[in-house]
Amino acid sequence: MFKTILTIAAALLYSTVLYCGAAQAQDIYPNKPIKIVLGVPPGASTDFLAREVGRGLSERLKVPVVIENKAGANTIIGTNAVARSAPDGYTLYLTTITTAVNPFIYNNLPYDFKKDMKNIVLLGVADNVFAVTPKIGINNAQDMLAYAKKNPGQFTYGSSGIGTIHNLLMELIADRAQVQLNHIPYKGAMAAVTDVLGGNLIGYFGTISAQREFIKRGDLKPLFVTSAKRSIYLPEVQTLAEAGLPPIATGYWMGLSAPAGTSESIVSLLNKEINAILSTPEVVQKFNQQAIDPMGGSSAEMDAFFDAELKLWQAAAVAAKIVPIALGK
């Protein structure tokens, strides 16, 4: 009888140890695949950056990292999907500059980014450049302003669409410089660049990566970049301030976010690991090939950066006379 009691007690103790061990293992983050959602389709800088960061995280955290493209509604579908996800660190969002623009384009977003999401880290910034056809004789920003003032509404420039960052930024520049520009929206960079090369459009405003090869060949004449200092990818090109234009500093930036309520320990771990990834020579080289500057920093720094971007794009939307519309219209 005594032996039976001991046997039962030992079995209970063993079961308890197993249960506690299993529970403890479940509390360890991460112990299953992590998903990074993108609000854009595959391809371009955003997709490239997400896959590089995902590969690095997978190697460091020893779990699979899956990239999921949830494109649609100017990234809103992807953002909302993550905002409504469990705040457990297993569903993350590749935030882009579009996230800071959308509140001033749409008046009925299904989420409030600042309340529903938590910034983890700023990943990278792709510099913007405005370039024109060399056939028209505009060699610098002052030439551009002179042409625009002499020919109101005849200075045509393209971007990837109405309400995009490049459209809004150029309208903000035009508003502060007190000139009138004629915006022609396109569905993508290559169609617009082709029209500039063919002389059907004076200039195109977009990322450096979309224009760098044409600029190197002399097919496009760069007038200015929108970074705070000269870009390492086009060091000969002036900044807005150097060009005598309103000193606005911004680029196509990308960051990583999680649903609000994600624990600080998870946010801290992801921030630490991603900062380490962004500092590796291999990642720096791959980013540079895409004309992306690796960033990094703390979660608080990402918050401050995001707040500054909100102020900038609110002013840009006002300058572009954007009237917020209902989503889906």
- pTM tops 0.85, yes or no: no
What is the fold of 128-225?
D-Maltodextrin-Binding Protein; domain 2 (3.40.190)
Compare 30 and 161 and report the one with higher pLDDT.
30
Check if 33-125+251-319 and 128-225 are the same fold: yes
For the domain with range 33-125+251-319, which CATH number is right: 3.40.190.150, 2.40.50.100, 2.60.120.650, 3.30.1130.10?
3.40.190.150
pLDDT in tens, 247-287: 888 899 999 999 999 999 999 999 999 999 999 999 999 99
Among candidate residues 123, 113, 118, 125, the one with its CA nearest the CA of residue 80: 113
pLDDT in tens, 197-238: 999 999 999 989 889 999 999 999 999 999 889 999 999 999
For residues 65-75, average pLDDT: 92
Residue ranges covered by each domain of the chain: 33-125+251-319, 128-225
% pLDDT > 70, the chain: 91
Q: Token pair of 59, please?
A: 């190697």
